[in-house]
Chain A
Amino acid sequence: MQTVILTLISIFSTLGLLAQQTTLTGTITDLKKRPIAGVSVSIADSYDGASTDSIGRFAFSTTDTGKHTLLVSMLGYKSWEQPVELRGGSQSFSIQLKESPNELTAVVITAGAFEAGDTKKATVLKPLDIVTTASANADVAAAMKTLPGTQQIGESAELFVRGGEGYETRQFIDGTTVANPFFGQAPNIASRGRFSPFLFKGTVFSTGGYSALYGQALSSALILESIDLPERSEASASFSPLFVGAQYQHLAKDSLHSWGASAGYTNVGLYFKAVKQQPDYFKAPEVLNGDANFRIKTSRTGMLKFYGSYAKNILGLRNPDIDMPVLKNAFELNNSNIYTNISYKERIANRLKLQTGFSYSQNKDNIHQQVQDADNKPVQHTLPDWVAAKNFRLATNNKLMQLRAVVDYKLSGLSAVKAGAEYWYSKDENQYQQFPVAALQDHFTAAFAEADVYISNGLAARAGVRAEHSSLLQKTNVAPRASLAYKLANAAQLSADYGVFYQKPQSQYLMWHPRQNQLRADHYIVTYQKIGFNKVFRAQVFHKEYKQLTKTFPDTSSTGTGYARGAELFWRDKSTFKNFDYWVTYSYLDTKRAYLNYPYEMQPTFAATHTANLVVKRFFTKMKTQLNINYQFAAGRPYYQFKYNNGAQQWDVLDQGKTIAYNNLSFSANYLANMGKAFGVVVLSVTNVLNSRQVFGYNYSYDGTNKVAVVPPANRFIFLGLFLSWGTDRTQDAINNNL
């Protein structure tokens, strides 16, 4: 017995005696042999270790013996480990650490895009900027018009980018396309976007060369990412002479799910009584809308989101008839729209993420156009054909359903591979007068893959491909995309993007000739960008080739061509002038195209050669007020009078010219205050403060003797509104935002 105990004791003490020290020393440098300080060096699963000093040296001793792992780690560098055999004495190491690519120091592949978000480095705008841009009145697309590459098109809410038509810019919410992002509009009078900027946490506006993950946008993509769970429950209400609205958002106590709903009613009648409008509105624009959402955090990494909205809008207006100015032309629109979007994302395995989306939308337009006499009654007597053709009813019913899935596999560092597929089903039904036109149906499928490869922190490449098939067009297209980004000196980088982009022709043209080619545009873009603290500079040059554009009469083949090239500058500075935040942009555009009835390549009517913007914001803390000023300039746009020449079987250009330059100085003030238990924001905004005359183009009568300028319904728009919210104190936001 005693012997056993003695033996045990002796074993223990021997163990203690045997414990011998091993001393580990060494130096740690980066690949350029510069010492790194503060690096952690340790024996795995042990307290023993040290940090390197200012010249990269370390030294420590350990009593551990046998086989262990030596771990070396430092923020910003790839960890390093090596098996070591500890057997007393001293061992010396010379270790080189590789910089680990990270989002903050690495080059940005998507440098060409404008991002609004809170976290990423490439962010150019903040979410709040969309709301506080004077000319935008909290409209997402209108705020984008202060960025380079966009045209100042006052007669449409759409975004016209780099020589592209409004149709060529598509909006995406959580990956799926939005078929009708704007409320129904009357000819040549811009409406607004359907979606509130507060629905989104991230906005990426790409003016070209974007990822293979997105398709069916020839010129530009506005990619919106909806918010996840809200920070807290909140009720809010808004009042204005133009509208009333109420909203409630509920966050569950466990912060794992939320739901919300909102309703609003807009009626511009009162405003139109106070401020004279050029057209005679017999039905002032009226909108009734509501939406609902829920969001569920399905796991630590999973999120399920639903958003659905319904809106109905009507309007009716009269203008003098262009052919017979004693008569009037009455236009009436009845629009209803349903939009739903369900998205689900989850990390299904280590490094592997899945993102799926489903969306369904339905848009119905009922248009009634009528030639009326001086008493606003339908004209009874016989009219010439070209005037009588203006008496019609048109009903359209467009449905679009989309399914989408994308997997994202993270390779080492920032490198990643993405792949996915989409299926769209669309059905467009039209009824002209009492005659239904054959419905247009398309089963559209797309598959895409893309790889982001970070060769180092300073050099990255992206290669992608997108294949699409349309059952309606009976065509398959393959679109390659590629980008290269190279880091210059600190914070500056150079990047190049190339891509082929396809888009189906608009359905009104497919209606008659469904077997057309997809429109095609090839983009070449070079970007220089320097992002400093509170300062962003960006310069871009681009070249774009258009092919297979739609032609109408007499040549109905899809053989239209065109090009666009130009240079753009963007400069934003939040720090040079105390409390001032401003940005300036300039865009130069040289573009021509032969499409629709253009007899040869000519500068399209929606393209101005020079466009410039100045946006200035300042917050006055004591007055609790933010003032925003925005000046937009665009050179005159071309206009044409075409006449069909029966003999030569082509369109002749009888008259052409350029409109006067576009000037718009807008102003807005946001006053923040606590009102009772609510937090309130009072917004006053005025567009075209200087009352400059704006002309967007000219319309010609059938015989060419009457030429009428296309002008806004009123030169100036004034908005006054009160927004109240209970639950969140946004004052604090504004303060922090401006400290």
Chain B
Amino acid sequence: MKKILLLCLTAFLTMNMQAQNEKYVNFMKKNIAALDSAKSPEDLQVSANNFERIANTEKDAWLPNYYAAYAYIMKAYYVKEMKDIDPLCDKADVLLANAESLSQNNSEIATLKAMCLTARMRADGSRGMTMGPKATMILQQALQQQPTGNPRALMQMAQMKFYTPAAFGGGKDAGIELLKKSIAAYDSFKPASELDPTWGKPYAVELLAQWTAQ
């Protein structure tokens, strides 16, 4: 009798957990799709709020923190007032620190950290002195953490090269070459799970068309 009761309870709990997991996966999928189609800072804020809610509930999952940070960083690229950039990046950095505590040596998290620094440089060009090399270093780590090539880290690297004059080891050609590498990496990229990051390919393709046309 007791055994059966226990069995029932276990079955119930498992079912419940599965249901919870299904709820998580569905919720994430829905919000990742919404984030991919976000077109304004307002859309991005809604996405960030949604992911933060999941992050606050699912305390062991790095992905909600990651996506919330991504939404904040994208918003930092969108905003027109330079003074708005730092608070958004500060918030993103907190979320990324959370994500990192749940998943160490994660190439995707490192890539976002570099993106966040690049956004901060937009607020104040002279920060390049300290933040530029730091962003490059983090991206190099990101590439080491994923030897098969993280297409998002490569795209970031490509953009940094593209906007560095040729005289300083960057240049248009160097940028385009890296961007092509990034697109190739997108083609062969297999995410670890259905919720893992896959974003960026359409933008990379669009960027390549723009750069080659210039």
Task: State the A residues within 8 Å of B (CB).
Answer: 1, 4-5, 8, 12, 37-40, 42, 44-51, 54, 75-76, 102, 104-105, 118, 126-128, 231-232, 533, 621-622, 624, 672, 674, 728-729, 731-739
In the complex, chain A residues whose CB is within 8 Å of the CB of B42? 37-38, 54
> How many Å lie between the Cα of A76 and that of B169 in the bound state?
40
Interface centre among B46, B49, B131 (most CB of A within 10 A): B49
Please determine whether B83 and A622 come into contact, CB atoms closer than 8 angstroms. Answer: no
Partner of A732, one of B82, B125, B164: B164
Can you list the 8 inter-chain pairs with the closest CB atoms, starting with the nearest?
Answer: A736-B128, A38-B45, A40-B49, A736-B132, A733-B129, A51-B46, A731-B168, A126-B126
Please determine whether B128 and A733 come into contact, CB atoms closer than 8 angstroms. Answer: yes
In the complex, chain A residues whose CB is within 8 Å of the CB of B131? 118, 736
Partner of A40, one of B23, B52, B127, B164: B52
Please determine whether A102 and B57 come into contact, CB atoms closer than 8 angstroms. Answer: no
- Nearest to B97 among chain A residues (CB) is A300
* Interface size of B in residues (CB-CB distance below 8 Å): 44
Please determine whether A735 and B164 come into contact, CB atoms closer than 8 angstroms. Answer: yes
A585 to chain B, nearest CB (A): 19
Please determine whether A732 and B133 come into contact, CB atoms closer than 8 angstroms. Answer: yes
A30 to chain B, nearest CB (A): 16
In the complex, chain B residues whose CB is within 8 Å of the CB of A54? 42
Please determine whether B4 and A118 come into contact, CB atoms closer than 8 angstroms. Answer: no
Contacts known (A1-B4, A104-B83, A104-B86); A49 close to B49, Cβ less than 8 A: yes
Please determine whether B56 and A732 come into contact, CB atoms closer than 8 angstroms. Answer: no
Q: A40-B48, A40-B52, A118-B127 are in contact. List 6 more A-B contacts (CB 8 A).
A: A1-B1, A8-B12, A128-B126, A621-B165, A732-B128, A737-B125
Is B207 part of the binding interface, using a Cβ–Cβ cutoff of 8 Å?
A: no
Contacts known (A674-B169, A731-B169); A739 close to B4, Cβ less than 8 A: no
> How many Å lie between the Cα of A51 and that of B53 in the bound state?
11
Please determine whether A736 and B129 come into contact, CB atoms closer than 8 angstroms. Answer: yes
Is B8 part of the binding interface, using a Cβ–Cβ cutoff of 8 Å?
A: yes
B172 to chain A, nearest CB (A): 14
B75 to chain A, nearest CB (A): 9
Is B96 part of the binding interface, using a Cβ–Cβ cutoff of 8 Å?
A: no
In the complex, chain A residues whose CB is within 8 Å of the CB of B5? 4
Partner of B88, one of A49, A75, A624, A674: A75
Is B163 part of the binding interface, using a Cβ–Cβ cutoff of 8 Å?
A: yes
In the complex, chain B residues whose CB is within 8 Å of the CB of A737? 125-126, 128-129
A554 to chain B, nearest CB (A): 55
In the complex, chain A residues whose CB is within 8 Å of the CB of B91? 75
Please determine whether A622 and B87 come into contact, CB atoms closer than 8 angstroms. Answer: no
Contact with A along B177-210 (1 / 0, CB 8 A): 0000000000000000000000000000000000
Partner of A533, one of B83, B121, B132: B83
> How many Å lie between the Cα of A49 and that of B86 in the bound state?
26
A617 to chain B, nearest CB (A): 11
A728 to chain B, nearest CB (A): 6
Contacts known (A4-B4, A49-B49); A105 close to B137, Cβ less than 8 A: no
In the complex, chain A residues whose CB is within 8 Å of the CB of B130? 118, 231, 733
Contacts known (A45-B56, A47-B27); A735 close to B165, Cβ less than 8 A: yes
In the complex, chain B residues whose CB is within 8 Å of the CB of A48? 53
> How many Å lie between the Cα of A736 and that of B117 in the bound state?
12
> How many Å lie between the Cα of A44 and that of B170 in the bound state?
48
Please determine whether A12 and B83 come into contact, CB atoms closer than 8 angstroms. Answer: no
List 27 interface pairs A-B (beta carbons < 8 Å), by A numbering. A1-B1, A8-B12, A37-B42, A37-B45, A38-B49, A39-B49, A40-B53, A49-B50, A49-B53, A75-B88, A75-B91, A102-B87, A118-B126, A118-B130, A126-B126, A621-B165, A621-B167, A622-B167, A624-B167, A728-B133, A731-B168, A731-B169, A733-B130, A733-B132, A736-B128, A737-B125, A739-B128
